[in-house]
Amino acid sequence: MHLHRPLSLLLVATAALTGCDYEHLSACETAALEPAILEIGTGEQEYEALEDGDWVEPIWGPQGGQHIWMGLRATGIDPGTGLDAQNTSPAVTWQAWYGDTELGWGESHTRLLESDGAYQTQGETLFLSSGAIYDLMDEMEMEMEMEMEAELEIEVVATLEDNCGTVLTTSRQLILAL
């Protein structure tokens, strides 16, 4: 845990004990009022929560690559002010793993919108490495036939870092439909 989080908690506790006006807290102090939680979801247009064991289906992009639409829901973070000149939006990185083999990646500065007491986003892109997937399928002696449905159990990892130095990481075990 970064020093910023405990220091912010101490400042908030001191402010509460001395009767400080919450409207004048910094963004980091305000974020420290909530537990820091990060959840992985999906959705191109709307956030949908994902649980371990859920299926995700890759989308073919116009350039022939595949990706998965991902989303996040977070509390206890500074959501930033949007995609402005200061770039105060949280940095998000994505990874997809099959055992020790990295199958996908993605990174962005994400604009998080408030919804139901949390901040969330959708339409995050997790790019998939077709070469790595095909190599795995060859190793597993799978054949790409139209009538055969192939699947891989993957781990999707998301890491979010806000301007306060709060770093949250979480993962989900998902089924990638090929």
Q: Provide the token pair at 55.
A: 């299926």
- Give dist(CA 127, CA 142) in Å, integer: 22
Task: Please give the average pLDDT of every successive group of 10 residues along the chain, which has 178 residues.
Answer: 48 49 73 93 90 93 86 91 70 93 89 84 87 76 53 93 93 92
The C-alpha torsion from 6 through 12 and 13 to 15, rounded to 10°, is: 150
- Strands 113-115, 151-161: parallel, antiparallel or unpaired by DSSP? unpaired
CB atoms within 10 A of CB 21: 7
Q: Write the pLDDT tens digit of every residue in 54-82.
A: 999 998 888 878 899 999 999 999 888 76
Ordered by where they begin, the domains of the chain are: 1-33 (no CATH), 35-177 (2.60.40.2550)
Position of tokens 């139901």? 116
